[in-house]
């Protein structure tokens, strides 16, 4: 995986080659990158596999880290990767551009503290940097099919 590729965010399938429901070994094989801790990730990461610019969250059996009985349930990522949502690149999107995209897909949202756009009907959140450009995306599996 490299920054030249563009990775699709899918609320029903997952992120790029990593699918919701995958086991840790499947994530490691699909992503093909070594584990890498970065300051923005914070602490208490036993439910996660962590890579450059990407946290993959698991539910199910967790010991000191996800076990093979764990399943991918969420993603938190930085824009060090080229990202697209519903086929549209969002890597350098502004708040207004993402708000318009969410409205186009009929998703309700709210702005929190002028730096976070949060969907109210889905587990989808966008965090923006000090100049209002996308910096982080958090999403978890949607309950409905698209």
21 and 68 assigned to the same domain: yes
**H helix intervals, 12-66:** 24-31
Average pLDDT on 18-30 reads 97
pLDDT at residue 143 in the model: 56
For 39, residues 6+ apart whose C-beta sits below 8 A from its C-beta are: none
Domain contains 1: no
Asked if 72 and 107 sit in the same domain, the reply is: no
Select from 27, 49, 78 the last residue of a domain: 78
Q: Which range is most confident: 16-30, 35-49, 108-122, 129-143?
A: 16-30
Asked whether residue 98 carries a pLDDT value surpassing 70, the answer given is yes
Residue 1 has pLDDT above 70, yes or no: no
Q: How far is the C-alpha of 31 from the C-alpha of 16, rounded, in Å?
A: 9
């Amino acid at each position: 995986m490299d920054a030249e590729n563009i990775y699709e965010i899918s609320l029903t399938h997952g992120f790029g080659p990593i699918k919701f429901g995958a086991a840790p070994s499947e994530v490691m094989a699909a992503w093909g990158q070594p584990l890498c801790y970065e300051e923005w990730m914070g602490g208490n990461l036993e439910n996660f596999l962590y890579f450059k610019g990407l946290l993959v969250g698991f539910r199910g059996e967790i010991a000191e880290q996800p076990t093979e009985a764990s399943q991918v349930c969420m993603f938190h990522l930085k824009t060090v990767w080229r990202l697209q949502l519903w086929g549209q690149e969002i890597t350098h999107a502004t708040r207004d551009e993402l708000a318009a995209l969410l409205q186009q897909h009929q998703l309700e949202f709210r702005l929190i503290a002028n730096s976070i756009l949060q969907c109210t009907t889905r587990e989808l959140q966008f965090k923006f940097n000090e100049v209002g450009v996308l910096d982080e995306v958090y999403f978890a599996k949607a309950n409905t099919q698209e």
